[in-house]
Amino acid sequence: MTAQPPVRRALPVDAELRRRAAAVVPGGLWGHMDVSRMPAGYPQFFEHAEGCRLRDADGNEYVDFMCAYGPMVLGYRDPQVEAAAAAQAAKGDVFDGPAPVLVDLAERFVETVAHADWAMFQKNGADATTTCVTLARAGTGRRKILVAKGAYHGAVPWCSPSVAGVTAEDRAHLLEYEYNDADSLRAAAAAAGGDLAGVVATAFRHDVRRDQELADPAFARAAREVCDAADAALILDDVRAGFRLHPAGSWEPLGVRPDLSAFSKAIANGHALAAVAGTDRWREAATQVFVTGSFWCSAVAMAASLATLERLAAPEASQHMAAMGVRLRDGIDAQAAAHGVSLRQSGPPQMPLILFDDDPDLAKGSLFCLEALRRGVYLHPWHNMFLSTAHRPEDVDRALEATDAALAAVARGFPAAA
Amino acid sequence: MTAQPPVRRALPVDAELRRRAAAVVPGGLWGHMDVSRMPAGYPQFFEHAEGCRLRDADGNEYVDFMCAYGPMVLGYRDPQVEAAAAAQAAKGDVFDGPAPVLVDLAERFVETVAHADWAMFQKNGADATTTCVTLARAGTGRRKILVAKGAYHGAVPWCSPSVAGVTAEDRAHLLEYEYNDADSLRAAAAAAGGDLAGVVATAFRHDVRRDQELADPAFARAAREVCDAADAALILDDVRAGFRLHPAGSWEPLGVRPDLSAFSKAIANGHALAAVAGTDRWREAATQVFVTGSFWCSAVAMAASLATLERLAAPEASQHMAAMGVRLRDGIDAQAAAHGVSLRQSGPPQMPLILFDDDPDLAKGSLFCLEALRRGVYLHPWHNMFLSTAHRPEDVDRALEATDAALAAVARGFPAAA
């Protein structure tokens, strides 16, 4: 195996911003957008975005396949969404209570999401998943929550992927199962015994650094059965996937409806909003818990969401994203075969992940992404990516020009017989 | 005692919105803005706001003393803040990383907040308080957190005022002390023994339904000493009070600096933002924890915050709010004396609370607030209120006309000798 060729890029404005950030922000940045966790060469700071095009602080433009890690589903600065947001902002955003748009938006959720009898709104995806867990416990008087091993449900103590600063008690009543493994789910439910409050499942398996797995319908049905048998809550964590796969809920094509579902990311095309949708079985519990936040009733994000969901409710939206994802996937598959590079593309086409064979340290994936990056295409080496309705065939084709060259670089850097 | 006179108000648009909301939102609304928890007669939905004037869905205008429960500190739809927000929105809000404004804002926090060597940003006040607790644990390797009995630090399982859906383990490592009671704090620290990670204190005692108490300097110093002795984190929960009392931090006038402080509410004049500020002692811990959210890097709220903090950094801002609060307080005191009504006004003048003597069920307070409400003044019967820099003397005087009539109604409704 050869050493990874350096793919350094001169980003002087970004470097200066990072130098200043390092002084006043621990580690320069927190969380999932911290590019110090990624291969050297990624820009940290961004200046401008429109449609599916993103411009870093040094003025480099990218066709973006991360969509701000999900929120951007109709394109950055979508004119209709921003007009709706501006119209609300001209009247007001926060008040001493909600604006009428809250009712419009809750009605829209109930109309659109198949299992929803009601909705509540928050700011973070973790607000929504945590509220679902709290509702499951309040509505059953029980404590145990089943979660899939390695699944991401937010970065708060009960579910953060890091245990720094977390106590054992924060996770005292979690029991793990293996995603898509009905037997392991039933075993975990048996271990919970009479204390089972709920089962949490992501829309599909989208853990980082491993091939994605679509939800097996038999697994989804087993989750429904386990919850029905115990009168426990089936909680669909649709934060990451919601409204990209199916407007009625990501498990609707499987024929399995959850009791509670958590949304965020794409529901307001970039405005900060999260939502919990639930069935009438859990309505009373939702009146008993006390969950709130200073900005949970903010009207501008709700107006943006209403405009976003109107567009996403049409099946053409997810169909277009899927078609663009397939175009990208098929193109990369053909290029990889031509260059003799072995890689795996997994997950729904709207949320692709590309991992390379024989790449335990992600050196190939990193080289691939950096070579694409310097050719104006923003991909991610180990986190699922996102398509939007703003990706047009010509954007994907523009990306494929870059991936072809990037795969050639991988073939050169990692000769098969090395 | 006479029965409380009815103060019904016809709010047909509000009533219709509530009817629709009841179908699609559990209980009609969640959390602190749910007016079903308040005396009948308050509007639930709002249509418009500007400066310190708020208009409900039926078109009634109020001089507002709740400021959206705190966020509105420069006036609703402040032109400078909204111009800064719009300028950033024209470039973009969410990206695959932060915008340069994140660095400007973190630098501003470090310049403005006396103890701050660094800052991190979130969305909810509870994101900030939870992050502080996580940092205290990560930075000490210990678990116990001291909290004041009855204090509000957010509505997440470890600290929600409700225990519906909360498990005992969520609060396993909390120990309670009495606010402003140094002995009880030292006793709690002794009970924590070698496992003390941090002490959380609000800027002053602002628990609902009881007289507010300013922080006793001796108590604040004791909290500092307890933390210094144990190398534990002194966490100032400045979410509700931050930047209304003092731009350098609410305990700066007491001469006591925390290790970590949590901000939200007022820091972006209504845009969804929270912040943690910390000292270098806790910088390494802040790089070890994993805390994040989909919208924590959103640039528009940061641009709004930068414009807000520029204005709040000037001492005139909190001085003006205090002067307006004193004008209101002095006026009400004089009116109460004239009407023979006994009441207590507590807390800093920027965040007043009015409670009536011999009013265990808050019937007097409710009547007072409803009579003010129908005269166009929005007060709260049991939660602290908020002044803003947009409150001018003539707004306060306008409010005092209403409170004079409202106190007359209280005097009539509750004759002293009843």
List chain B residues with pLDDT less than 70. 1-8, 417-418
Question: Is B26 within 8 Å of A155 when comparing Cβ atoms?
Answer: no
The pLDDT of residue A46 is 98
**A295 three-class SS:** coil
DSSP A339-401: HT--EEEES-TTS-EEEESS-TT-HHHHHHHHHHHTTTEE--SSS-----TT--HHHHHHHHH
Question: Are the Cβ atoms of B99 and A135 closer than 8 angstroms?
Answer: no
Low-confidence ranges of chain A (pLDDT < 70): 1-8, 417-418
- To the question of domain B12-76+316-413 being in CATH 3.90.1170.50, the answer is no
Cβ within 8 Å of A, B 379-418: none
What local confidence, expressed as pLDDT, does residue A6 receive? 55
Strand partners, A148: A177
Cβ within 8 Å, pair B169-A165: no
- Convert the pLDDT of each residue in B345-401 to its tens digit: 999 999 999 999 999 999 999 999 999 999 999 999 999 999 999 999 999 999 999
B292, B308, B384: which to substitute to probe chain A, counting the most A Cβ within 10 Å?
A: B292
B123 contact residues in A (CB cutoff 8 A): 123-124, 272, 293, 295
d(CA B98, CA B105): 11
pLDDT for res B8: 66
| Minimal Cβ distance to B167: which of A72, A143, A271 | A143
Beta bridge partners of B261: B236, B277
Q: CB distance from A358 to chain B under 8 Å?
A: no
Give the nearest partner residue to A294 out of B35, B124, B285, using CB atoms. B124
**Contact between chains at B97 and A45 (C-beta distance less than 8 A):** yes
CB contact under 8 A, A54 and B96: yes
Q: Which residue of A has its CA nearest to B270?
A: A94
Q: Are A125 and B82 an interchain contact pair (Cβ–Cβ within 8 Å)?
A: no
Burial B252-288 (b: 16+ CB within 10 A, else e): bebebbbbbbbbbbbbbbbbbbbbbbbbeebbebbbb
- From A88's Cα to the closest Cα of chain B, the distance in A is 9
Residue B277 bridge partners (DSSP): B119, B261
Q: Which residue of chain B is at minimal alpha-carbon distance from A19?
A: B103
> Which has the closest alpha carbon to A265: A116, A83, A71?
A71
Which residue carries 């901000």 as its tokens? B263
**Separation between Cα atoms, residue A394 and residue A399, nearest integer Å:** 8
Closest Cα to residue B137, out of B182, B196, B67?
B196
Mean pLDDT of chain B: 97
What ipTM goes with this model? Answer: 0.97
Provide, as residue numbers in chain B, all residues whose Cβ is less than 8 Å from the Cβ of A91: 47-49
CATH number of A79-313: 3.40.640.10
Nearest CB neighbour to A162, from listed B272, B290, B298: B290
Please tell me the distance from the alpha carbon of residue B135 to that of residue B123, in angstroms, as a whole number: 17
| Chain B residues 94-113 with a CB less than 8 Å from chain A | 94-100, 102-103, 106-107, 109-110
Backbone angles phi, psi at A197, to 5 degrees: -100, -35
What is the rounded (10 degree) CA torsion for A119, A123, A125, A129? -50
Q: Where along chain A do the CATH 3.40.640.10 domains lie?
A: 79-313
Q: Which of A78, A94, A237 to mutate to test the interface with B (most CBs of B within 10 A)?
A: A94
Q: What is the pLDDT of residue B230?
A: 98
Q: Please tell me which of the candidates B57, B136, B295 has its beta carbon nearest to residue A123.
A: B295
Q: Where are the domain boundaries for CATH 3.90.1150.10 in chain B?
A: 12-76+316-413
Note whether A141 contacts B: Cβ–Cβ < 8 A: no
Chain A residues in contact with B82 (beta carbon < 8 A): 89
Interface of A with B in 292-331 (CB under 8 A): 292-298, 301
* pTM of structure: 0.97
Residue keyed to tokens 């991988």: A410
Angle subtended by helix axes A393-413 and A315-339, to nearest 10: 30
Q: Which residues contact B208 (CB under 8 A, 6 or more apart)?
A: B152, B382, B383, B384
What's the gap in Å between the CA of A324 and the closest CA on chain B? 20
From A25, A126, A265, residue closest to B106, measured CB to CB: A25
**Dihedrals φ, ψ of A202, to 5°?**
-75, 165
* Sheet order of strands, A233-237 included: A118-122, A274-278, A260-263, A233-237, A196-202, A144-148, A174-177
For residue B368, the one-letter residue type is F
Chain A residues close to B135, C-beta within 8 Å: 165
SS3 state at A137: helix
**A258 Cβ contact list (under 8 Å, min separation 6):** A115, A233, A234, A235, A236, A249, A251
% of chain B beyond a pLDDT of 90: 97
Distance from CA of B309 to the nearest CA of A (A): 16
* Pair of tokens at residue A39: 């291969």
DSSP tag of B51: B
- Look at residue B10 in the predicted model and tell me its pLDDT: 86
Residues in A touching B102 (Cβ below 8 Å): 21, 25, 29, 45
Rounded Cα–Cα distance for residues A15 and A45 (Å) = 9
What would the pLDDT profile of B35-87 be if each residue is shown by its tens digit?
Answer: 999 999 999 999 999 999 999 999 999 999 999 999 999 999 999 999 999 99
Q: Is B294 in Cβ contact with A94 (below 8 Å)?
A: no
Looking at CA atoms only, how far is residue A149 from chain B in angstroms?
18
Query: B311 and B80 in contact (C-beta within 8 Å)?
Result: yes
Q: B18 to chain A, minimum CA–CA distance in Å? A: 8
Both tokens assigned to B359: 């009013």
Note whether B26 contacts A130, CB cutoff 8 Å: no
Residue B137 touches partner A, C-beta closer than 8 Å: yes
CA distance B35 to B29: 8
* Residues of chain A with C-beta less than 8 angstroms from the C-beta of B93: 77, 270-271
Nearest to A236 by CA among A247, A228, A226, A224: A224
Instruction: Say if CB B81 and CB B74 are below 8 A apart.
Output: yes
How many other CB atoms are found less than 10 A from the CB of residue A406? Answer: 27
Of A211, A77, A91, nearest to A150 (Cα)? A211
Q: Which residue's structure tokens are 């609703």?
A: B76
Distance from CA of A56 to the nearest CA of B (A): 9
Task: Give the nearest partner residue to B94 out of A71, A120, A287, using CB atoms.
Answer: A71
Whether B99 and A46 lie within 8 Å, measured CB to CB: yes
Sorted by sequence, the CB contacts under 8 Å of residue A51 that are 6+ apart come out as A75, A76, A77, A390
Residues B302/B105, Cβ–Cβ less than 8 Å: yes
